[in-house]
Structure 1
Amino acid sequence: MTIKKIAVIGSGYMGGGIAQVLALGGAQVVLGDVDGRVASQSRERLLQQAQAFADAGLFPADSRARLEANLTAAGSIEEAVEGVDYITEAVPESMEIKREVLGRISAACAVDTIIGTNTSAIPIGQLAQFVSHPQRFLGVHWMNPAPFIPGVELIASEHTLTAHVDTLEALIRSVGKVPARVADTPGFVANRLQFALYKEAVLVVEEGLATPEQVDLVVSNAFGFRLALFGPFAIGDMAGLDVYASSYKTLAGTYGERFAAPDALAQLVEGGNLGLKSGHGFLDIDPEKRAELLAYRDKAYAALSKLRAELGPPPGLVG
């Protein structure tokens, strides 16, 4: 199925950013919100923002003209979803609001229209009960800010047709984003990891080990710096899983079982699979690409360091 016309329901910060990306990608996008006035105001805001982004070199020079051609505002949610191929719901992260809006959407649109929800953490299976014909419903979790963050999680419930996930994956790729299919569980992958880190960071502060400013300095200039370019498994395999296992042993001595080495990690190390240094870890990295990969890593880190120096410290934050 080819997606040509899209409704974005919820035209705030997230929904507006999603609408910009989809419209700039060539789709005809209709904004729907609590009423036509809000949707029209959001459209004008997005046009002005696109011009500002273009002036700053963040969007293509013709972005405002492309949005003017591809982005419209509807008088109601029901009007917005009429005759579209795909609907993405991007209302606030509230079960009550999503229940009402998803009910209105699925009652008003055609029965074969694909419906996506931009929930950050609510399981798709729970939201599917508010949608008629739940086989056309899935999670499409964009990251904030949508115009600039590449990743989009695709989450199918037990009801979702695989063909619809295929269609949305193709759409996401066509607008320059990076889709990843993940399981339907609270928080999915991105927010399960993100909130685990955040909780541990708060505990570090509560225990008096560092200030919030110092924690941010450590993260953004250490492992967080690496995470801008590689995921945790690639970083671990390059560092050496034996190093990780040894570190977990030290951490567990102080913090207990919650910092014990995961069984999968311990089994790999026991089997002599230490990552890149032994040719196999969690990832199957081609040993013949070892030198090339490490050269890429070093070049990428140097380029990122240069970029950060050019940008300077974030305004208002410790650099």
Structure 2
Amino acid sequence: MSGPRFAAVGAGRMGRGIAISFAYAGYRIALVDLRRRTPRALQALHEEAGAEIRGALQGLAKLGAVREEQIPEIASRVDFVDADGAPAALAAAELVFEGVPETLEAKRDAFEAMNRHCRDDAILTSTTSSILVTQLAQLVRRPGRFLNMHWLNPAYLIPVVELSTHPGTSAAVLARTRALMESIGKVPVVCGPAPGYIVPRLQALIMNEAARMVEEGVATAEEIDKATRFGLGLRFAALGVVEFIDFGGCDILHHASREMAGSIDAARYRAPAIVGRMMEEGRLGLKTGSGFFDYAGRDVGAYRLDVLSRVLGQLRQAGLWHPPGDGTLS
């Protein structure tokens, strides 16, 4: 059996981004187009995909992430495969990504081909952002080897990939998938079969609230974006959201939610039941030794210093850290 160990089914934007990720990491990957096309249409698609892949790599070269002379070699690791070559490419792959348009009809057609040609031990994934893994699992032969995988754009740059499993997903398959993704420098995170994964579910709330503040005249778009980049975003780049709750204290979230539920919108700002339970149990986070995480036996001083180091690193990266002043006005 020959051919790349990986295949992306669907030669659109997502498939191309996935292909760049593997090619950049040193692996060959098949970019598979299942549609029957005229020779002219097929050539046009091939040229378009190649131009986008080279363009992305040239952008990285301008930023110093790759050398210009490395681009041809990296791009050559992407094998463009048409419908005639699809059976062989799918048969050779151990990890396959479905990235066709977001309709059940298109997904069904793609999985029919994958079921027919992929070997039994191949891991099959869908990159859907809108269809639940439990729904798509029904289209897969041997569904224990299937899960959804949500990439964040640009797929070749953002490290996090969200793995959404269904109750039948094999633990061994999940472990293999995580290891393979880590081998190309990705950071896999796992969630259950819930709409919105993790990141889209959180960011939709933030984006809607930002748009609402512009609509209400609370602040301009420019001011909101400054606050987001250098306040909210900077802190959440240094601490995870749940870690942030524990670090400040669950009681702070509880009281802030109560106040904003009363003054802004009861439904939007009502705290979930878990926050109330933690308040009742005295599990407020770092200050009480337990919250969402357990701090028993942890060197709290060293942990606080580590958090400060992370924040300081973000400030320096953003060019916002300055040495102490001497009180002289310029």
Pairwise TM-score range, normalised by the shorter structure:
0.7 to 0.9
Conservation of the 8 A alpha-carbon contact between 1:117 and 1:138 = yes
Q: Which amino acid aligns with 1:118?
A: T
Q: Name the CA distance, whole Å, in 1 between partners of 2:244 and 2:316.
A: 21
1:6-21 matched pairs, under 5 angstroms? 6-21=6-21
Q: Which residue is 1:317 aligned to? A: none
Q: 1:187 aligns with which of 178, 196, 219?
A: 196
Pick from 176, 179, 203 the counterpart of residue 170 of structure 1.
179
What 5-or-longer segments of structure 2 have no aligned partner? 321-330
Q: Tell me the distance in 2 between the aligned counterparts of 1:199 and 1:68.
A: 38
Contact kept, 8 Å, 2:160 with 2:188, in 1: the verdict is: yes
Correspondent of 1:67 among 71, 74, 77 = 74
| Corresponding position: 1:269 with 2:276 | no
> Could you tell me which residue of structure 2 aligns to residue 295 of structure 1?
305
Distance 2:185 2:67 in 1: 13
Per-residue deviation at 1:209? Answer: 2.4
**Do the aligned partners of residues 283 and 66 (structure 1) sit closer, same or farther apart at CA in structure 2, a change above 3 Å counting?**
farther
Post-superposition offset of 1:156: 1.7
| Correspondence for 2:141 among 109, 124, 132 | 132
Kept in 2, the 8 Å contact 1:121–1:188? The answer is: no
Change (3 A) 1:63 1:181: farther
Aligned to 2:102: 93
SS at match of 2:318: helix
| 1:256 equivalenced with 2:229 (yes/no) | no
Q: Name whichever of 93-102 and 178-187 sits farther off.
A: 93-102
1:220 aligned onto 2:229: yes
CA contact 2:210–2:224 (8 Å) conserved in 1: yes
Question: Counterpart in 1 of 2:291?
Answer: 281
1:169 Cα deviation after fit: 0.7
Higher Rg of the two aligned structures: 2
1:73 is paired with a residue of what secondary structure?
strand
2:91 is paired with a residue of what secondary structure?
Answer: coil
Q: CA RMSD in A?
A: 2.5
The correspondence for 1:241, drawn from 244, 250, 262, is 250
Q: Is the 8 A contact 1:39 1:75 kept in 2?
A: no
TM-score, length basis structure 1? 0.86
Are 1:115 and 2:124 matched, yes or no?
yes
Counterpart of 2:63 in structure 1 is: 56
Deviation at 1:205, TM superposition (A): 3.0
Q: Is the 8 A contact 1:274 1:280 kept in 2?
A: yes
Residue 55 of structure 1 and its aligned partner are, at CA, apart by 4.4
Contact 1:15/1:90, CA 8 A, preserved across alignment: yes
Alpha-carbon contact 2:7-2:96 (below 8 Å) kept: yes
Alpha-carbon deviation of 1:151? Answer: 0.8
Task: Verify the 8 A CA contact 2:23 2:77 in the aligned structure 1.
Answer: yes
Partner of 2:324: none
TM-score by length of 2: 0.83
Report how far residue 27 of structure 1 moved: 2.8
Contact 1:119 1:141 in 2 (8 A): yes
The alignment partner of 2:154 has SS state of coil
Q: How many residues align?
A: 308
Q: Identify the range of structure 1 (145-154 vs 255-264) with the bigger mean alpha-carbon deviation.
A: 255-264
